[in-house]
Structure 1
Amino acid sequence: MMTITRHFIRIGNRTVHYRKAGSGPILLMIHQSPRSSAEYEALMETWSPHFTCIAPDTPGFGQSDPLPGNPDINDFAAAVHDLLDALGIDHCAAYGFHSGAIILMTAVKQQPDRFSRVAMGGYAVWTPAEMELFGDAYLPPFHPSDYGEHLTWLWNRILEQSWFFPWFATDEAHRLSVAHADPVRVNAVVREMLDAGNAYQAGYGAVLRAPRDIPPADAAMPPCLITAYDGDPLQEHIDRLGEMPTGWSARKVETPADHQQASLDHLRNGDHAPAPELPEAPDRGFVAIAHGGFDGLIHWRGDPGADALILHAPGRASAAQADSGTLHIDLPGHGLSDDWTGDAPTDWQRWQAVIGAIADSFSAATIDGPSAPTGDPAQLYPDLTPDRFGAYLTTAWQVVRARHFYEPWYAADADHARAFDPGDLAPEKLAIEHLELLQARAARAWHEALLDRHKGAAS
């Protein structure tokens, strides 16, 4: 299996995150909204034998910072060129799906000579009546609420987006044939919406407001293929594209696999420049570790040359802003770091071995770790596996709220009351803790390892 690596790069005042896989010429892959580059992981595995696949999180989505102000589609397309400039990529092939295709189309029109070949999965050409239907209802504000009410709305909005399009048009005319109730698939989009927060309005809104103009027939453009499969709400839009430039074509296909194969065949049929060496951000990234039962990527931020390596508590993640002169990581099974190979261990020795390997990779001289939190690990960290009704989301929200009042959080009585700062109950702050808890797949194992360390030290 081809390895997908993850990277950050600084572009002015913004940090951009991207995934990379494969070898050979560059293929830029622009995801749809409100997703992230994570949606392309399976496709990157398939296409990586032919290309060096570069899939960025577009501004405001995934782990990429948003654009300032009120950006429009031209700003999002310009951000594509800014990324290519920063990576030292002068010329490449490119692929975009749905709203990613809208961004890519605009980028191609801005600098057509930059792209060797282009493939798109669907291209939306809305009628005035359809645009009126979308109105303001399609992109309501998305802000965290005190008691997690926003999570119930989010789960149902994402679930029913596969039942009706647009999601709020719950009638037979807008019913989709690709409906599902798969909690794993819904959770993937929910988590990306939680990453984006209300920034999703800017990115998604810019796409919806973008003009739907194919370049004129006499325009000098790179070859482009647009396909859409059965069940895709944009398949009927193939008939709306009109006359296109020389070397452009569009067709309907039966399945997603047919769309992907047709896109790959088109993209491979051309001359492409080799991939250059790609730069990295100086203060945030991922390091590959293969040691003691862990084989994956560890997310870090701060000063990679710092003497001290800072470890977080179970159920948390690396500091949003690492202190000057320190280095923070997400431990295995937490935050943006990968999971353990197999079940996360509960003994201190194996955690210590991996932490030591991480420290050695940075030449950190000291390790600053937490003590085990108060409470029973079996009760502190409830099962947050995605369920059919999204209850895991509100369970996690109640946990992060209650732990400000009681220690441990599940002992809600006067004897376990703790002092708290009311400012820490701001929904925006709770939302950060909530996402950290959802990402903490190995929280209970890390807690038990800390207990094991204490037991060993006491014996």
Structure 2
Amino acid sequence: MLRARRAARRWACDVRPKARGAATGPFARGDARVKRWSRRGYTEGPYGQIHYRHEGAVTQIRGAIVLLHQAPMTSAQYDNVLRPLAAQGFHAIAIDMPGFGMSDPVPGVPRVEDWAAVVPSVLDALGYPDAVVLGHHTGAMVATEVGIQFPDRVRAVILNGPMPVSEQERTEFMEGLHQTERTITATDDGTQFNMVHAARTGLAKGTVTLARISEYVVQAFEGQGAYWHGHHAAFQYRHDEKLRRLERPALILTNTGDVIYEHALAAHAIRPDFAFAALEGGGVDVVDQMPEDWVEAVTRYVSGL
């Protein structure tokens, strides 16, 4: 862990924000809803239809970048960065993972490995032989798995908040938060919505507008899968073992205010050969809290490939 901390301080790709810890996107400037920039599409995948939103075109100079959301959210997590990524020359493609948003679910209880299987179908639909694959939190695990399962379709992987956990952490999750999440189901008084709203408000700590918080709650319940599926799959995934198997170029992207920042440092200790970038501040909602810095970090890494 100490080695990873030192690496975080000295890595040349370290990114400093324009305003330390400040939210800079539209969600930090009042309660107006963000303009919906992205186009939408569907394609057939291994479990049914896959929904995605995208900005840019096949003529973009940097090619495709696939964006995989955290759980329990949807591709709408990336609403605030799709257009800025396109402006940097990417065809930005955000996918609803199976069971989330408008994508059909995996039969039974899903695994990270199942979610990874849909990415080639989207690339095929849009005419791409390969792409940079980026994932945030649970999405970072899925991005790792895409790189392992389909290395020929992956130019590079960006792991925004990887999370290798210990067996003790896995057990604590199963005995604690997992049991709570299994209670988040339909109720006669809407308690489930209040529970998620309270959790997301607590994580945002005043850096995200109430309008956007409400959207987070909608995203959490939009899919056909059970609420608990996302984090359950994440904690069952052996990210430490899978990181050792990943053979594609990779960037570990994190931010110092993230609740799993220490896990990102641990991931870099496992793979010190991976590039590393740490934004200063932010939180779980970094793409809304500091979108300009986030897009800059992504663009900077891909420019060097």
Same fold (TM over 0.5): yes
Q: Does 1:183 align with 2:206?
A: no
The Cα offsets for residues 145-203 of structure 1, whole Å up to 9 and x where unpaired, read as 233333333322332344xxxxxxxxxxxxxxx56574223201111122126533223
Which residue does 2:260 correspond to in 1? 234
Partner Cα separation in structure 1 for residue 208 and residue 77 of structure 2: 18
* Structure with the bigger percentage of helix: 2
Aligned-partner Cα distance in 1 for 2:207–2:151:
39
1:249 lines up with 2:249 in the alignment:
no
Structure 1: distance between partners of 2:159 and 2:243 = 18
Which range is displaced more, 61-70 or 81-90? 81-90
Distance 1:216 1:198 in 2: 27
> Is 1:203 matched up with 2:233?
no
Q: Does the CA contact (< 8 Å) of 2:55 and 2:82 recur in 1? A: yes
SS of equivalent residue, structure 1 residue 94: strand
User: 1:450 is matched with which residue?
Assistant: none
Residues 158/88 of structure 1: CA separation in 2 closer, same or farther (3 Å cut): same
SS in 1 for 2:106: coil
TM-score between both structures, scaled by the size of structure 2: 0.73
The structure with higher relative contact order (CA 8 Å, sep 6+) is 2
Question: What residue is the counterpart of 1:28 in the other structure?
Answer: 66
Could you state the TM-score of these two structures normalised by the residue count of structure 1? Answer: 0.50
Aligned 8 A contact 2:71 2:138 in 1: yes
**C-alpha contact (below 8 Å) 2:46/2:118 kept by paired residues:** no
**Secondary structure in structure 1 of the residue aligned to 2:239:** coil
Task: Name the aligned partner's letter for residue 229 of structure 2.
Answer: A
CA separation in 2, counterparts of 1:93 and 1:110? 14
1:379-413 CA distance string (max 9 Å, x none): xxxxxxxxxxxxxxxxxxxxxxxxxxxxxxxxxxx
**Conserved? CA contact 2:66–2:132, under 8 Å:** yes
Identity of aligned residues (%): 26
Q: Residue 2 of structure 1 contacts residue 45 of structure 1 at CA under 8 Å; is this kept in 2?
A: no
Quick one: which amino acid aligns to residue 147 of structure 1? D
Question: 3-state DSSP class of the match of 1:200?
Answer: coil
Residue from 87, 111, 115 that aligns with 2:154: 115
Would the aligned equivalents of 1:221 and 1:245 in 2 still touch at CA under 8 Å? no
- The structural deviation recorded for 1:215 is 5.3
* Contact 1:26–1:93 (8 Å) recurs in 2: yes
Q: Which residue of 2 aligns with 1:146?
A: 188
Q: Which runs of 5+ in 1 are unaligned?
A: 163-177, 271-459
What's the CA shift for 1:43?
Answer: 0.8
Higher alpha-carbon Rg: 1
Report how many aligned residue pairs link the two structures. 253
Contact persistence 1:8–1:17 (CA under 8 A):
yes
Gaps in structure 2 of 5+ consecutive residues: 1-34, 282-289
| Secondary structure class of the residue paired with 2:67 | strand
The secondary structure found in structure 1 opposite 2:259 is coil
